[in-house]
């Protein structure tokens, strides 16, 4: 049973009121083993009662695909962008569409990326080398950039996909704390 539901097209039955079904939260982050799955269903502007009833039906279908407990949230665009929706940044930035099998933000014409700027200035030479190996690999082994589709934009600046943030940050932290993270939509 999978936890990354967006990697495969599932035969889900839903009405035309459903604009998208989005997986978000910790289960879409690279190397984490999730305890549960967060799903957001984005609806046309229909009554809340109908949203909730339809979401329950979608949840029942998804629950047949995974053993992990599913937490489902229902939104229309008004409630999605409401200030009280604390999940919107996560859904926009990390959300994966189970309908489009791609980033949810692509619906709005954006691609989410993480930029990490770092400085090796105060590191010892051996740590600078270690850092270089970490990103670019050594002796034919892939480094993190190649493994996870990231790229070096400038010396001291890399760009990666949001789902790999924890992998990169965790590895970089072992060598230096001199780095900054920026979330961007390109």
Partner 1 sequence: MNNGLIKEKLEILKKTAKEYFDSACEEFSKKRYNSSVVLYFKSLVALIDLFILQKTSNTPSSHTERFRITKERFKDIYNILDKDFPFYQESYVHLMTKELAEVIKNDVEIMAKKTQINL
Which parts of this chain interact with partner 1 (CB under 8 A)?
Answer: 47-49, 52-53, 55-56, 59, 71, 73, 84, 86
Token digits of residue 63: 């629950």
| Smallest distance, partner 1 to C-beta of residue 160, A | 31
Nearer to partner 1, 70 or 116 (CB): 70
| Smallest distance, partner 1 to C-beta of residue 52, A | 5
| Smallest distance, partner 1 to C-beta of residue 51, A | 9
Nearer to partner 1, 69 or 170 (CB): 69
Mark residue 57 as left, alpha or beta (left: phi above 0; alpha: psi -120 to 50; beta: remaining). alpha
Strand ranges (E), the chain: 18-24, 37-43, 70-76, 96-97, 112-118, 151-154, 157-160, 179-185
Nearer to partner 1, 57 or 130 (CB): 57
* Secondary element (H or E) of residue 125: helix 125-136
Cβ-contact 67, 34 below 8 angstroms: no
| Smallest distance, partner 1 to C-beta of residue 168, A | 30
């Amino acid at each position: 049973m999978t936890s990354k539901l967006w990697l495969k097209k599932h035969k889900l039955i839903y009405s035309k009121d459903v604009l998208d079904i989005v997986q978000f939260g910790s289960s879409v982050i690279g190397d984490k083993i999730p305890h549960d799955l967060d799903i957001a269903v984005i609806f046309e502007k229909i009554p809340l009662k109908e949203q909730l009833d339809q979401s329950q039906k979608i949840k029942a279908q998804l629950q047949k695909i995974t053993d992990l407990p599913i937490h489902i949230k229902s939104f229309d665009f008004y409630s999605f962008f409401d200030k009280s929706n604390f999940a919107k940044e996560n859904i926009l930035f990390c959300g994966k569409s189970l309908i489009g099998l791609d980033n949810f933000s692509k619906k709005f014409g954006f691609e989410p990326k993480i930029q990490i700027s770092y400085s090796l200035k105060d590191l010892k030479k051996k740590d600078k080398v270690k850092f270089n190996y970490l990103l670019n690999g050594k002796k034919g082994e892939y480094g993190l950039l190649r493994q996870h589709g990231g790229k070096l934009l400038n010396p001291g600046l890399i760009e990666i996909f949001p789902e790999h943030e924890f992998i990169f940050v965790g590895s970089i932290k072992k060598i230096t704390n001199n780095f900054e993270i920026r979330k961007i939509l390109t």
